Amino acid sequence: MSEERDGHDRPRGASSGSPPGASFEDRLGAARRRQGLAPLQQDADGGNSSRGLSPPQGNALGMGLRVGVELVSALAVAVAIGWYLDGWLGTKPFLLMLFVVLGGAAGVANVWRLVAPPKPRRDQPPPGGG
């Protein structure tokens, strides 16, 4: 959000000559090249991986709340599934028991995803279809 780039003073309505689908960085680079300016210093991979994938963690209280919410919501979903399947298949209470365990595991998996050290992001080639 702290924007250092000179995005505000580009001329309005002036056709930049780049394809309209190009990203702002591409258009800026093209404009700078046309004006004979040096290309902007960019991150090695287009500024894509400099920021982490996880949202801001906030303070310890917020982190604790998030962990609690993740655990409880996974368990709630699992209990709902187990309850529904039990009623449907007439296997009360075994599927509920099974899904409580699975829900706890899913909650722990959620929490692990939350606190795990960020994976080194593979350099994804831009997907062709899409």
Partner 1 sequence: MAAEGPTIDALSQFMLTPALGALGHSVNFTQANVFMLAAAALTLGMLYFGARPAAIVPGRLQALAELAYEGIYNMCTDQIGKEGRIFFPFVFTLFFFVLMGNMLGMLPYAFTYTSHIAVTFALAAMVIVLVTVVALRIHGLHFFSYFFPDGAPKLLAPLIVPVEIISYLSRPVSLSIRLFANMVAGHVMLKVFASFVVMMAGAGVIGVFASAAPLALIVVLIGFEFLVALLQAYVFAILTCIYLHDAVHLH
* Binding residues vs partner 1 (CB under 8 A): 1, 3, 7-9, 12, 23, 47-48, 51, 53-56, 58, 62, 65-66, 69-70, 72-74, 76-78, 81, 99, 102-103, 105-107, 109-110, 124, 126-127, 129-130
DSSP SS3 for 71: helix
Q: Which residue has the tokens 């056709």?
A: 15
User: What are the b/e assignments for 45-82, b being 16+ CB within 10 Å?
Assistant: eeeeeeeeeeeeeeeeeeeeebeeebbeebbeebeebb
- Residue 46 or 93: the one with the smaller Cβ distance to partner 1 is 46
CB of 110 to partner 1, least distance (A): 6
CB of 119 to partner 1, least distance (A): 10
Q: Which residue has the tokens 């080639």?
A: 125
CB of 78 to partner 1, least distance (A): 5
